[in-house]
């Protein structure tokens, strides 16, 4: 391990569990009944993660951009386009495969992931979640994770593992099949992203592709939140 940054990589897994469990306890409900708030929880935790990374970088004599090894002018449009296509193909393909393995359905779409929330929150999350997720997750798992290990295998495997694991708790459900499904959905993509960053040391193509695929995800929540009856229609189609 090169430095203390690698010790930060489990933090989001822990925080997501705490937020959903404590949130359910405060609301007097079980965690399943508050799962539709996952977009809001993610947006807030993303912002807190970015603040943590900025503070951590500053304490180590760096900026956030230096932490993730961003260099202006290094990225070509072609890199961004190719990386984005790969992220979409592997990301969607991983979800389809995991859905088939765990639920026997292609495509499998978890109803809780597109549950409506208050319209104002849906709009805010649509605007903030994709960008803050790229800054928070890629800053943590690439900037701190991949850059935190000297050994190549560890530099890819450890951050990729926690990168995928955090999604098992977005939202938190104490269902082993759901947890395995979420983990398998993201693991192929997180391995590729960590490998790519380890090889290129250029976070921008990953962050752009990451933000764009998250736009697609929160667009579903936006639609179910703004269009009356759309959520029920989607459930009936399943």
119 has pLDDT over 50: yes
Mean pLDDT across the stretch 135-144?
97
Q: Looking at 13-22, 97-106, 149-158, which range is the least confident one?
A: 97-106
Mean pLDDT across the stretch 185-199?
97
pLDDT of residue 228: 84
108 has pLDDT over 80: no
pLDDT of residue 2: 57
1 has pLDDT over 60: no
| Token duo for residue 22 | 């404590």
pLDDT of residue 3: 62
In percent, the amount of the chain with pLDDT more than 70 equals 97
Nearest C-alpha neighbor of 142 from the set 86, 201, 188:
201
| Token duo for residue 219 | 């667009």
81 has pLDDT over 70: yes
235 has pLDDT over 90: no
Dist CA 62 CA 34 (whole Å):
38
Cβ contact 164:186 at 8 Å? yes
Mean per-residue pLDDT of the chain? 93
Residue 106 banded pLDDT, cuts 50, 70, 90: confident
């Amino acid at each position: 391990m090169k430095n203390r940054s690698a010790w930060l990589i489990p933090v989001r897994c822990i925080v997501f569990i705490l937020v959903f469990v404590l949130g359910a306890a405060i609301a007097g409900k079980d965690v399943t009944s508050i799962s539709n708030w996952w977009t809001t929880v993610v947006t807030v935790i993303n912002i807190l993660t970015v603040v943590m990374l900025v503070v951590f970088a500053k304490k180590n004599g760096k900026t956030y951009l230096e932490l993730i090894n961003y260099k202006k002018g290094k990225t070509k449009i072609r890199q961004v386009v190719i990386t984005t296509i790969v992220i979409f193909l592997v990301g969607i393909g991983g979800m389809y495969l995991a859905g088939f393995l765990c639920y026997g359905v292609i495509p499998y779409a978890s109803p809780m992931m597109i549950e409506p929330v208050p319209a104002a929150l849906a709009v805010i999350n649509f605007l903030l979640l994709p960008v803050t997720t790229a800054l928070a997750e890629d800053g943590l798992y690439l900037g701190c994770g991949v850059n935190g290990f000297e050994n190549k295998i560890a530099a890819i495997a450890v951050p990729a593992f926690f990168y995928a694991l955090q999604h098992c708790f977005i939202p938190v459900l104490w269902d082993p099949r759901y947890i395995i499904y979420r983990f398998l959905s993201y693991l192929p993509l997180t391995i590729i992203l960590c490998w790519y960053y380890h090889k290129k040391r250029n976070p921008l193509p990953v962050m752009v592709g990451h933000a764009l695929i998250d736009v697609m995800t929160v667009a579903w929540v936006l639609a179910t939140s703004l269009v009356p009856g759309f959520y029920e229609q989607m459930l009936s189609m399943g």
